[in-house]
Amino acid sequence: MTTALAPAPTRPDTAARPLRIGPITLAAPVVLAPMAGITNTAFRRLCREYGAGLYVSEMITTRALVERNATTMRLITHHESETPRSIQLYGVDPATTEAAVRLLVEEDRADHIDLNFGCPVPKVTRKGGGAALPWKLGLFREIVTRAARAAGEVPLTVKMRKGIDSDHLTYLDAGRIAEDAGVAAVALHARTAAEFYSGHADWSAIAALKDAVTSVPVLGNGDIWSADDAARMMAETGCDGVVVGRGCLGRPWLFGELARTLGGPAAVAPDAETVDATLGFVAAAFRRHAELLVEFFDDEARGCRDIRKHVAWYFKGYPVGGELRASLATVSSLAEIDALVATMDLDAPYPGAAAEGQRGRAGTPKRPALPDGWLQSRELGAEASTALADAELDHSGG
Ligand SMILES: Cc1cc2nc3c(=O)[nH]c(=O)nc-3n(C[C@H](O)[C@H](O)[C@H](O)COP(=O)(O)O)c2cc1C
């Protein structure tokens, strides 16, 4: 993180650049990456409290939405403070995806819809879903075209990876197809499915996509851990905006810094003027996150159970002992959180490098699991259609 202790340089080429996604203008070209299990209303509200941006929902499967699954219907609801309302869909079937988009639009449930084509999870790619899908050009085209048409005035975007592996790249074709289909922007996580979350994102691919897709914004994603990284990605690749995922885990205030660096002072929320990341500041954000989760789940024990997975991210690098961390990771009430926070040295300063860098998923490269014969043709054969029929399982994202 770059804190007020060391403000990120404002670059003339990236400063105060708004981002237009269809009719939506964002004061800062910043998007919260959809993250299953993380970017629920609670986390989105928290991030938004720091700065301007587009805060995307957790991934919603189109079939569950069309079937009006009760959990799904709860996941797509937004708090009144959330505008624009953004929902990410995951689908493999053109008709179901179209029906899901239509439901969102006709019932006025979203101001922006994103389609996820980046999931690398084996149980998804094995069926031809996620990052495997854009390999089948016709299927990809049909899904995006029908979804964009059903979206009408609501801007529809596409989020994807570079491809299946380095020998089977899909992003340039997919970007052009999506542009033709009428999307309002394309976002690239600059890794292949085979890379999973390992190594470094290849930002040169974002620059290549920017050259290929010329009529709508290109958003870059992968390995932004600080506002300075975001400015560097924009300067190096020419991308129109950044999508930030793991870098904001346990650091929702990163959105204030991103807004200040990429959008200028007006993009920063008034209450987030200064970021003083003492342990007290971090503990207050953690407490606020827990409180918002309790509100979201409408269940104190459930909300507190959910905050447990964020403990290591919030307190990374801070002088919080093992016993205290363990207690935080088992909290079941807000009062318990308050009691534990009261034992911390709240004046402990921002620890610098120890709080920086990678957090969240990492992992090692994996040979992608694919349906038999998937790579032999870029058109969909009968056997692949069968695999796709049950590709839309519950899974954890991109
Ligand atoms: C816990 C977790 C859940 C994710 N879930 C989704 C998802 O639901 N949809 C999606 O498109 N990407 C998902 N992703 C991928 C992120 O949106 C993003 O593309 C990826 O983390 C790379 O960006 P980063 O380096 O800024 O984290 C997920 C990532 C993580 C770490």
Q: Give the per-residue SS3 of 214-247.
A: CCCCEEEECCCCCHHHHHHHHHHHCCCEEEECHH
> How many angstroms separate the CA atoms of 158 and 141, rounded?
11
Average pLDDT, the chain: 92
Cross-strand bridge partners of residue 60: 89
Q: Nearest 5°: phi and psi at 122? A: -50, -40
Q: Which residues line ligand 1 (CB under 6 A)?
A: 33-38, 58-59, 88, 116, 118, 159, 189, 221-224, 244-247, 360-361, 396-398
Atom of ligand 1 nearest to the CA of 114: 11
CA-CA distance, 137 to 147, in Å (whole number)? 15
pLDDT at 394 (0 to 100): 55
Q: How far is the CA of 223 from the centre of ligand 1 (A)?
A: 11
**pTM, full prediction:** 0.94
pLDDT digits (tens, 9 = 90+) for 217-257: 999 999 999 999 999 999 999 999 999 999 999 999 999 99
| pLDDT tens-digit readout, 273-300 | 567 799 999 999 999 999 999 999 999 9
Q: Quick check: 314 and 282 in contact, CB under 8 A?
A: yes
Residue 11 pLDDT > 50, yes or no? no
Mark 252-269 as b/e (b = at least 16 C-beta within 10 Å).
bbbbbbbbbbbbbeebbe
Q: Is the pLDDT of residue 75 over 80?
A: yes
260 within 8 A of 272, measured Cβ to Cβ = no
How far is ligand 1, taken at its centre, from the CA of residue 35, in Å? 5
Centre a 10 Å sphere on the Cβ of residue 289 and count the other Cβ atoms it contains: 23
For the chain, give the percent of residues with pLDDT over 70: 93
